[in-house]
Structures are given as C-alpha cells and as structure tokens.
Amino acid sequence: MSRLDVFINRMVSQRVCLDFAVAETKGMQGPVFELGLGNGRTFDHMREKMPEREVFVFERKVESNPASTPDPSMTILGDVRETLPAALARFGSTATLIHADLGGHNLEKNDQFARLVSPLIEPLLGIGGLMVSSDKMYFDELNPLPTPPGSVEGRCFVYRRDA
Ligand code: SAM
C-alpha cells in the first residue's frame, strides 16, 4: 500500500469517526476538545458539524490556515502534557467529545506519546462522551468501540466512557 493510500485512508477514517462521534454525542452538554490543531482541517470540520457546541483547541504553536484558526479565547496554548492537567482543574470530567491527532511521521514515537497522554486525556471525558484518535490509546476506563462503516481499521480509533 502506498503512502498516498495510507494518507487517504487516514483522512477518510478521521472524517467517518468524527461524524459518528458528533452524531453519538449530539445534545450532550459539555465542551468539545480538539488536541492538535495542525493546519486546522479537522478543527474546521468539527466546528462546521457542531456550530452549537464550544470547541476548545489544544496546540503548542498555532500555525493553522487563517481560514481555520480558532479564536484565541478558544485556544489552549502550550504542551498538552501541561495543558491537559490544567484543563481537568478547569473543566472537570465534562468533555463530550475529544479528538486527538497529535502524531507525526514516526509511528514508534506516536505510540510512546499516546501511552503518555492517555492517562491525561481519560479523566476529562464525561459519561457517554466519545474520544476519537488517530493513534491507538491506552485507557483503563474508556471502552474501545468498533470503528464505523466506511472507516479503515487501524487508521482511527474510537472510545467511550460508559460509566
Ligand atoms: N488534525 C490536524 C488537521 O486536520 O490539520 C492535524 C494535526 S497535526 C498532525 C499534529 C499537531 O499536534 C501539530 O500542530 C503539533 O504542533 C501538535 N502537537 C503535537 N504534540 C503536541 C504537544 N505535546 N502539545 C501540544 N500540541 C502538540
């Protein structure tokens, strides 16, 4: 499989999983978190699909396309290793949807980072909330869901807090 195929599968899966999570959490009260702004494509998709919900973006350095740059009041600037614990103090376990796309090209490093941030992300999600990630996560309390039809296995991961 070419790198182009892998990239396309990741993008298609990201959209399918995000749309699934948006639908599953519709009507829930609580913030939405985007971890890793990058170019701002997934942020733009999320705010388009959830205009009624607050989407906070966690990013260490904002370099997004101006057309998909969040308002500074909705941007939580800094390293997620510090901003996620601070967000727990600020929001408690109230997030309804968390999307994480923090990785780069090095799969081994991405996996190590996913292990490191999983316990920081886990307590932020409220009951019934969904977490969507480009990397496999390492949660104790969140349950993995089968990825929705149209997504490619291993290219996106979905978890839910049931209790
Ligand atoms: N989903 C985005 C999009 O659609 O454009 C792409 C996100 S990009 C792959 C990953 C982003 O995560 C980068 O902007 C990077 O700066 C950010 N990031 C990586 N590690 C981080 C960390 N420890 N703290 C904060 N942001 C981080």
Instruction: Give tens-digit pLDDT for 7-28.
Output: 999 999 999 999 999 999 999 9
Instruction: Give tens-digit pLDDT for 129-163.
Output: 999 999 999 999 999 999 999 999 999 999 999 99
Whether 134 and 103 have beta carbons less than 8 Å apart is answered as yes
The answer to whether the CB of 37 is under 6 A from ligand 1 is yes
1 alpha carbon – ligand 1 mean position (Å):
25
The answer to whether the CB of 84 is under 6 A from ligand 1 is no
Domains in the chain, CATH or no CATH each: 3-160 (3.40.50.150)
Give the helix/strand (H/E) hosting 148.
none
| Half-sphere exposure at residue 62, Cβ-oriented, CA atoms within 13 angstroms | 16
58 alpha carbon – ligand 1 mean position (Å):
8
User: What's phi and psi for 161, nearest 5 deg?
Assistant: -90, 115
Instruction: Give tens-digit pLDDT for 24-41.
Output: 999 999 999 999 999 999
62 alpha carbon – ligand 1 mean position (Å):
9
Q: Which atom, in ligand 1's list, is nearest to the CA of 34?
A: 1
The model's confidence at residue 68, banded by pLDDT at 50, 70 and 90, is: very high
